[in-house]
Amino acid sequence: MGIAIALSSWQKLAMSGQLLFATGRSLLQLMIVGYILEFIFALDNSWGVLGILLIMLTIAAIVARNRIGKKIRGLFPVVWGSLFASAALTLSYTIILIIQPSHWYEPQYLIPLGGMILGNALNSASLSGERLVSRIKSSSLEIETHLSLGATPKQAIAGYRTEAIRTGLIPTINSMMVVGMVSLPGMFTGQVLAGSEPLNAASYQILILFAIALTNLTTTLLVTEGVYRRFFNQDSQLILP
């Protein structure tokens, strides 16, 4: 990072301060997380593990809500509930039916998996939600025309919702298409560096990719369902914030 900051200064990019701040913040955040997780791992308690996951979930929901739109009423519960339902579904299936640890709350599995799943779901929720909001705002006249012709709110925004869901899934599909050929994901690389057999590392990475794909799809479905409802009142009239 010192070399990167020096190069930025040499090229007069005016980014040296940002790079320095990002470096310090990354070090501080990861060191704090490391100490917290070391304590949680030693504690080996289900409430501690669930507490960490709830904190991660809440932070992800706040970030996604801010990216989608702070002025939209009742958006935070929608995003939080969507992330919770999607992550809970995927983690339950993965932990109970596939990995099958001695205890379902083993932090060795639940926290890393939860972090990767929530991190990717956050991006999908942000992309799909933001796209749907922007399309509704820019196409209000067309939506009101559909409503005046007898369409329900869901029918009036169906095309925009489909477009938003596809937008939210683009990064997931792109990463799945080139994994192993162009990029080596973090789970695979980390296990190989730690000395695991490459085939075993590949198996875990496949599991993670499929879990992320399922979570992201369910997240975008739930988020877009909740977001569009924020734009209509009880009389099915379009309301722009």
Q: Which amino acid is at 159?
A: G
What digits encode the pLDDT tens for the residues 122-137?
999 999 999 999 999 9
Mean pLDDT, residues 179-204 taken together? 74
pLDDT higher than 70, residue 151: yes
Strand, helix or coil at 179? strand
Sign of the Cα pseudo-torsion (110, 113, 119, 125, in order): negative
Tell me the β-bridge partners of 183. Answer: 179
- How far apart CA 23 and CA 29 sit, in angstroms, is 10
Residue 59 · residue 29 · CB < 8 Å: no
- The letter for the amino acid at 162 is T
The alpha carbon of 179 is separated from its chain's Cα centroid by a whole number of angstroms, namely 19
The mean pLDDT of 196-222, rounded to a whole number, is: 88
Residue 194 has pLDDT above 90, yes or no: no
The pTM of the whole model exceeds 0.85: no
* pLDDT tens per residue across span 19-56: 999 999 999 988 998 888 888 888 778 888 899 899 99
Residue type, 120: N
Judge contact between 217 and 169, C-beta under 8 A.
yes
**12: phi then psi, degrees, rounded to nearest 5:** 55, 50
Contact call for residues 115 and 60 (beta carbons, < 8 A): no
Half-sphere exposure of 92 (CA within 13 A, CB side): 6
pLDDT band for 235, please (50, 70, 90 cuts): confident
C-alpha–C-alpha distance, residues 90 and 210, integer Å: 10
Beta bridge partners of 232: 238
Residue 230, helix vs strand vs coil: coil
Radius of gyration of the chain (CA): 21
Domain ranges for the chain, please list them.
1-43, 45-229
Distance CA(186)–CA(142), nearest Å, equals: 44
